Amino acid sequence: MFFTKVMTMQKITAPSVGKRVRLGRILRDGKAVIFAYDHGFEHGPSEFPGERVSPRAMVKLAVEAGFDAIMTTKGVAEETWDLWAHRVPLILKITGKTSLRPPDLQLFQYQIGTVMDAVAMGADGVAGTVYWGAPEEEAMVERFAEMVAECDNLGMPTMILAYPRGPAITDRNDAEVVAYATRASAELGVDLVKTHYTGSADSFRKVVGVSSVPILMSGGPRTGDDLSFLRDAKGVMDAGGAGVVVGRNVFQSPNFAAMAKAIIAVVHGGAEPEEALKAEFGAAGQE
């Protein structure tokens, strides 16, 4: 099973079994392509093209595309439960911040849901963000540590969105900086880490090597170049990463399904980016 935090001699308990079961549903072969869908809260509805502004339309596309899990907020999960239930695991995002806040308050995530919300909805994981290096790092880490403790008692996996931010950080994709944020996250006791890609497989190996916790790449803003994104995903996998958590590079693509399936082919199937792009966009036409 894909459960890295249980030591060989540790007693099997109900929470540890629950965590194994839930992680196994997300990391079905030790890898995952997770659909990130918290952008409506973080950035507003203008992030979504056309009819994709509808949560039900978006979640329906994600389920049909074959994602391993969907990470979203409480309200979206409640509105779309009949679409994802029994089909795709839910990871409930319980921290957030809006882009309406003043610039000097953009580096703080506050609570927008609870661990018990996730339990009540039948979720398979809980997610939250820490901006490592931000002025409010202490408050975010203390809240996240409490969340991890609660999840551990309930058998609920935790995923941290480990983002280096702050006035002292000049390059949030620097391998040393990302590795530090990843290691600090692992030391909180999390089960999955989502963080920035560092630009190459060689540099990302430094990130993957700091802990045995599965590391996933943050998809980030739309690149405008599908092949470049697929090459980044391949770099993650070549470095020993566990997959990607992606939103905008799929839902802002003219062909949602083709892009999603191409990423899945790279992560789960080991496909070369060029092959995956040709295979999935061939009939529909590549961007």
The residues carrying an active-site annotation are 194
Q: Report the alpha-carbon distance of residue 119 to residue 273 in Å, rounded.
A: 37
Q: H or E element: which one contains 150? A: helix 137-154
* Nearest C-alpha neighbor of 159 from the set 131, 194, 132: 194
Q: Report the alpha-carbon distance of residue 165 to residue 132 in Å, rounded.
A: 6
For tokens 């000097």, name the residue.
Answer: 104
Q: H-type helices in 155-215, by residue range?
A: 175-186, 201-208
**Is residue 267 within 8 Å of residue 244, measured between CB atoms?**
yes
The one-letter code for the residue type at 202 is: D
Residue 132, classed as helix, strand or coil, is: strand
Q: How many residues does the chain have?
A: 287
> Other CB atoms closer than 10 Å to residue 151's CB: what's the count?
24
**Is residue 161 within 8 Å of residue 130, measured between CB atoms?**
yes
How do beta strands 90-93 and 95-96 pair? unpaired
Contacts of 195 (CB under 8 A, 6+ apart): 161, 162, 163, 178, 181, 182, 185, 207, 215, 216, 217, 218
Residue 91, beta-bridge partner list: 71, 125
Residue 162, beta-bridge partner list: 130, 195
